[in-house]
Amino acid sequence: MCNEEAVLAVKDLKTYFYCKGRVVKAVDGVSIDVYKGRITAIIGGSGSGKSVMSLSILNLIDKPGKIVDGQVLLHGKDLLKFSEKELRGIRGRQIAMIFQEPSCALNPVVKVKKHMYEAVRIHDKGARMNNLLDGFRQTLLRVGLSEPDRVLESYPFELSGGMCQRVMVAMGLVTNAEVLIADEPTSSLDLTTQAEILEELLRLKEEGMAVILITHDLGVVAQTADDMYVIKDGKIVESGTVREVFANPKNEYTRYLMDPITIHN
Amino acid sequence: MKRLKLILLRIVQIIPVLLIVTMLAFWLSNVSAGDVANVTLQSKGIQPTEESLAAIREELGLNDPLPVQYINWLKKACRLDFGVSFQTNRPVTEEIFSRFPATLELAISASLLAVIFAIPLALLATRYRDSAPDHVIRVMSSIGATMPDFWIGLMLLYFFGVQLKIAPIVAGSKIQNIFLPAFTLSIQYAATYTRVLRGNLVEINRLDYIKAARARGLSEGGALVKHGLKNAILPVITLIGVNFGKLVGGQVAIETIFSWNGIGQFAISCMKVKDLPVIQGYIIIVLLAYVIVNLILDVVYMYIDPRIEVE
Ligand SMILES: Nc1ncnc2c1ncn2[C@@H]1O[C@H](COP(=O)(O)OP(=O)(O)OP(=O)(O)O)[C@@H](O)[C@H]1O
Ligand SMILES: [Mg+2]
């Protein structure tokens, strides 16, 4: 897809859940390459393993789940071999993640400004809230929150779902990570706001960030992504540049995603 | 502003509680009104006869209609005047206030100690759930919750006092003296709070916002402390308030073991001889302490959880 070296390369990743004597192979041999200055889309239906894959990249899988095999190479170094302490230095600083369910991913009893402050402060012990507030306001404006001061002083439970989602995106931006994993960052937004957020992702890509965009919306992929992977039941069934795949979808599932109605009839 | 309104609302809600309890306390004296006249006479060393009983009834206002008697009694109670103890002939307030502060001190220390022990233990158990530390803490809290406090007290006293000669066996009012009785009392509550907190923390640990905090680079323990604790501790605050009611009434066994001059023993001895003015005063003072502490806890709760709404 690209001649350059991948910033992040996932190789044959397998994450299984062991529940009640059953094994759920949520991610079952996924390999993807993510490049600087490109948006890599992961597309698949509900339960196909997209969120589990993102958490696996950060090595954040808890029991009963386990990463049983594979590599997550950041600049060629395998994160799965890192110690917990080393990983903490990577999480949020080099790889930031925007969670899928914004209202669940923000602590209801902690103010937005404290959330944003924490994101910065974890990796920069010298950071002071007062010096950061201006930057936070700018970031919130960038993601389309027109009253940044009110939002900063609000608790997440006082904001709408869409506003929380934009706060989540803003938090992904404040740390200037190299890789941004955006798990369905526009799922609960109206079309205008969705366009704004995607615009912001495109800008980040121009600035050189590597973006993983997880979505079930092929329209979004077509508009923004450079590379794409189609995932089904924990396996990659199709991959290539967006142009290639759209022009010539090889897998039946991809064709189904592209035109579910015609195929059904 | 919202918080101020809520606090005012809570204060207003206390008024009916106070009224009902004072009525009950007053009624208590009334069910045994015959006794009151009798006992009062006896405590003055006068032989009860028809005339002397009638006279003392008149003097104490026992012939007035009940509501009038209640109002008169309440007026005095508001000035913390509960009359004179039948048993000792000293003012009730004096008797109570010579003992109640020690009880209050003990109740507050025990409540605080219970939380101070429970928080790190619950965090530890959650962080290492289903492995050794969690199992050890679980067993410890089961034992702590079921062992009778007087037994713990005796063991501690024997161990520290007799064997190690550290704690003075006869208590005074110094910190080192309050530690053993407060610690003894706190154990069962520490055990309960640890279990409640651990349960809540394990639940919360599954939530996305803890994962998200870790994805920002916080350690699992850090995420639990910074994001889990605030949410998990809320039900414990309610429990502290409820249990404070039990503690502040006095602890006969612990007071005896540690020679702690609290209200518990005195209240029991007064109940034995039907020293009604003291019992009434005791009920009201204990209630006031309970209500005030719960009000403070309500305020703490509000500052931790901004989601509380004014209806
Ligand atoms: N904690 C867990 N315990 C057990 N199974 C899990 C757990 N988390 C995820 N799974 C399973 O892993 C599979 C993949 O889930 P995942 O959340 O990655 O799907 P997804 O592609 O993100 O779906 P969606 O589009 O609905 O977000 C599902 O079958 C799910 O049941
Ligand atoms: Mg998902």
CATH number of the domain to which B147 belongs: 1.10.3720.10
Question: What is chain A's mean pLDDT, rounded?
Answer: 90
Q: Are A37 and A208 in contact (CB under 8 A)?
A: yes
Looking at the structure, do residues B134 and B223 belong to the same domain, yes or no? yes
Task: Judge whether B277 lies within some domain.
Answer: no
Task: Give the residue carrying structure tokens 């806890």.
Answer: B297
List residues near ligand 1 (CB under 6 A).
A 17, 19, 24, 26, 44, 46-52, 64-65, 100, 216
> Structure tokens of B264?
């518990």
Say what percent of chain A tops pLDDT 70. Answer: 97
User: Are the Cβ atoms of B230 and A109 closer than 8 angstroms?
Assistant: yes
B303 touches chain A (CB under 8 A): no
**Domain endpoint, select from B60, B76, B92:** B92
Specify if B153 maps to a domain.
yes
- Average pLDDT for residues A132-150, to the nearest whole number? 92
- What superfamily does domain A37-59+89-258 belong to in CATH? P-loop containing nucleotide triphosphate hydrolases (3.40.50.300)
What residues in A contact B217, CB-CB < 8 Å? 88-93, 122-123
CA A183 to CA B209: how far, in whole Å?
14
Mean pLDDT of B272-301: 90
Tell whether B221 is covered by a domain.
yes
- What is the average per-residue pLDDT within B5-22? 89
Q: State yes or no: pLDDT of B173 exceeds 50.
A: no
Helical residues (DSSP H) of chain A, grouped into ranges: 50-57, 84-90, 102-105, 112-121, 129-142, 148-153, 161-174, 191-206, 218-224, 242-247, 252-258, 260-264
The pair of three-digit structure tokens given for residue B68, joined into one six-digit string: 């009038």
pLDDT at B165 over 70: no
Residues of A in contact with B209 (CB under 8 A): 104-108
Average pLDDT over residues B88-95: 90
> Do both B159 and B125 map to the same domain?
yes
How many contacts does A have with B, using Cβ atoms within 8 A? 69
Query: Considering chain B, what percentage of its residues have pLDDT values greater than 90?
Result: 48
Q: Are residues B16 and B36 in the same domain?
A: yes
Q: Which residues have a Cβ under 8 Å from the Cβ of A235 and sit 6 or more positions away?
A: A28, A29, A30
Q: Is the pLDDT of residue B196 over 90?
A: yes
Same domain flag for B164 and B236: yes
Residues B86 and B107 in one domain: no
Tokens for A262, please give them: 């015609």
What is chain B's mean pLDDT, rounded? 87
**Backbone angles phi and psi of B160, in degrees to 5:** -80, -40
Shared domain for B62 and B164, answered yes or no, is no
Closest listed residue to residue A53, CA positions, set A171, A189, A184: A184
Domain stops at, among B34, B64, B92? B92
Report the half-sphere exposure of B226 (CA within 13 A, side-chain side). 24
> Is 50 exceeded by the pLDDT of residue B171?
no
Highest mean pLDDT among A15-19, A257-261, B5-9: A15-19
B256 and B155 co-located in one domain: yes
The Cα–Cα gap between A178 and A91 comes to 11
Where exactly are the structural domains of chain A? 37-59+89-258
pLDDT at B34: 56
- Provide the whole-model pTM: 0.86
What is the arithmetic mean of pLDDT over A95-113? 89
- Which of A93, A110, A171 lies at the smallest CB-CB distance from B217? A93
Mean pLDDT of A22-42: 94
Q: Do B83 and B104 lie in a common domain?
A: no
> Do residues B225 and B138 both lie within one domain?
yes
Is position B225 within any domain? yes
Query: Per the CB < 8 Å rule, is A84 touching B227?
Result: no
**Domain around B249:** 100-261
Averaged pLDDT for residues A19-47? 93
Give the pLDDT confidence score for residue B28 in this predicted structure: 76
pLDDT of the residue at B31: 67
Residue B287 lies inside a defined structural domain of this protein: no
Q: Which residues of A touch B216 (CB under 8 A)?
A: 91-92, 96, 118-119, 122, 171, 175
Number of helical (H) and strand (E) elements in chain A, helices listed first:
12, 10
Q: Are residues B245 and B121 in the same domain?
A: yes
Does the residue B201 lie in any domain?
yes
Which residue out of A58, A87, A109 would a mutagenesis test of the B interface target, given it has the greatest number of B Cβ atoms within 10 Å? A109
**ipTM of this complex prediction, to 2 decimal places:** 0.91
- Nearest-angstrom CA–CA distance, A51 and B201: 23
Question: What b-and-e string marks burial along B48-75, b requiring 16 or more CB atoms within 10 Å of the CB?
Answer: eeeeebeebbeebebeeeeeebbeebbe
Q: What's the average model confidence in pLDDT over A120-128?
A: 90
Report yes or no on B278 lying in a domain: no
Residues B211, A101: C-beta atoms closer than 8 Å: no
Give domain status of residue B289, yes or no. Answer: no
Provide the pLDDT confidence category of residue B136 given band limits of 50, 70 and 90: very high
User: Considering its fold, how many domains does chain B have in total?
Assistant: 2
If asked whether residues B248 and B133 sit together in one domain, one would say: yes
Cα A215 to ligand 2 centroid, rounded to whole Å = 9
Least confident of A157-171, B4-18, B30-44, B202-216: B30-44
